[in-house]
Amino acid sequence: MAAVKELIVDPVLTLTAIPLLGAGIGVLLWSRPRTLKAWALFLTAALVVVAVTAGTADGDAAIAPLSWLLILASFLAVFGQDPYMEAPSSIVLTLLFLGLSLGTLASGGALGIIFFSVMLGVIGLAMVWHGRTTSPMVWGAVALCGIGVLCLVASLAASGSVAVVLRLVAFATALPLFPLHGVFVGALSHLPGSLPAFLAVALPSLGVHGVVSISAAVPAGILPSLLLLALIGALYGSLKALVQCHLGQMVAYLAVTLLAIPWWHMAVTAGKMPQAAGYVSAVAVAMGGLLLAGHFVQARYGHLDLDKLRGLARPMPRFATLFGLLIMAAMGLPLFGVFSAFMAMMFSSSTTLPQSIVVILLVWFMASWLLVMLMQRILFGQPRPDLLYRDLSQTEVLSLVLVLCLLALGGIVPAGLFQLGDPAALSFLEVNR
């Protein structure tokens, strides 16, 4: 009885169980999207309170910021979800993935691995359910989900370096690393509603948490390979982004480009990547914000085809201002978290500057090029006369403003807040010992 009571009041499990239960109840509200949205908002807002209490009580400072970030991201994704556009599936899946993500972060050890495996599996299923007819790429992404799950399950049975490498492969599907980035790209471009905006934050956060937790145990022999894959991935992502005509896919490939940098950082610092979590979180939030803005556009015009969208700045000035600021944040301009975190990461790795930094600077330049190009394609030019334009509603404005506040906050919070520098404090490592 005492054990059951302990289980109920365990803040970690409470944090995990609430969204999972919420998703279960959400299924019952499937036919009433407005009620479902209100329910999900109430739930995620309540979770913020629980997370703060749990974080304080548990004292696990390393994972608390990531948990808060995930909860905030889920709140914003639900808040920004259009009630009539694929709302039930988007909201229920957001709650489900939130529960699984928090479970992965909070429980650690074998249980954490199981949570993460389930999450990858559900992402694969959701992609099959939602995106199988839209693009053949979905099948490639689903196959990579399967590889990720297999690696995680196998790592539970394996030990030593083999287990570490298997986990590294699985985490590379979440914190996208070429050639395993397909899960990330597929999730961000083929899942319904505002769910991609949440997954843009959740997947890299879980990935970096996992990678940092095993970074000390990564065999030195594979670091050069990681470096090479990071550089190839960064260039590949930027080239792929250049030819995309779908906003979601373009943002996804841009994220692949920018999120290759922490992998490079890990390789050149020989596994010491204390500043990477802050950078990943900032990039993830910026990309999530762009996807949320994309969702608002899709809710109005039914598509995210960049060749058909243009000239939104004049008829949608509020959208234009907020989108412009998000682009500014995403490409690493000052005042926002991506810049601060990027700088922290670069300066922390600059005791001996590696030659490969040239490629990273080139990637940074390419990202600026592509993001401004994206902004120009959507906002600038003459508006289409055949479209009835409608600017953002107050709710939508508020959700994007909150994303921007989060990014601005990232520019001024102490770097140590997101510092996952002490791997001993992290849970995945327990399995390795």
Partner 1 sequence: MALYGAMLVLLLPLVAGLIIGLAGSQLREKSYRIGVPAVVLAFIGGVWTLYTVSVDGPIHIALYQRTPAAQNWLQFALYIDRLSAVMMVLITGVSSIIHLYSIRYLQQDRGYARFYALLGLITFALLSLVASANLFMLFVFWQLMSWLLYLLLAYNYTHPPAVNAAFKTWIVLRLGDVAFLGGVLLAYSVYGTLEFPLLFERAAESSATLPLWPGSGMEISTVTAITLLLFVGAMAKSAQLPLHVWLPDTMDTPTPVSALMHAGIVNAGGFLINRLAPLYGLTPGTLHVVFVIGALTAILGASMMLTQNDIKKMLGFSTIGQMGYMIMECGLGAFALAIFHLIAHGIFKASFFLYAGNVIHVARRTPKLPPTRNADQDVEPSRLPWFTGITMTLALPLVILLIAHGVLQVPLRDAQGAVILLFFAWVTSSQAILSLYRLRAVESWKVVGAMVLTLLLVVFTYLWAVEAFTYFLYPAPGEAARYFQAAAWNPWLFDLFVILVTLLIGGGWAVAYTNIRGQRILMSAWVSASAPRLYLFIWNRLYIDALYARFGQAIIRLARRMDARLPEWLP
Q: List interacting residues with partner 1 (CB under 8 A).
A: 135-137, 139-141, 144, 181-182, 185-186, 239-240, 242-243, 311, 313-314, 324, 328, 333-335, 340, 343-344, 346-348, 350-353, 355, 357-358, 361-362, 364-365, 368-369, 372-373, 376, 379-383, 415
Asked if 184 contacts 254 with a C-beta cutoff of 8 angstroms, the reply is no
- Rounded to whole angstroms, the Cα distance separating 215 from 276 reads 12
Q: Smallest gap, in angstroms, from Cβ of residue 308 to partner 1? A: 17
**Minimum distance from CB of 371 to partner 1 (Å)?**
10
- Residue 145 Cβ vs partner 1, minimum distance, rounded to whole Å: 11
**Owner of token pair 């403003």:** 401
Q: How far is the CB of 10 from partner 1 (least distance, A)?
A: 35
Q: Is the CA virtual torsion 28, 30, 31, 34 positive or negative?
A: positive
Nearer to partner 1 by C-beta: 34 or 314? Answer: 314
Beta carbon of residue 422, minimum distance to partner 1 (angstroms, whole number):
15
* Shortest reach from residue 376's CB to partner 1, in Å: 6
89 burial via Cβ count (<10 Å: 0-12, 13-18, 19+): middle
Residue at token pair 């539970």: 156
145: nearest Cα among 177, 98, 183: 183
Smallest separation (angstroms) from partner 1 to the CB of 323: 13
Q: Could you give the maximum distance between any two Cα atoms of the chain, in Å?
A: 69
Q: Least distance to partner 1 from the beta carbon of 27, Å?
A: 30
Contact 55, 14 (CB under 8 A): no
Which of 311, 265, 262, 301 shows the shortest CA–CA distance to 283? 262
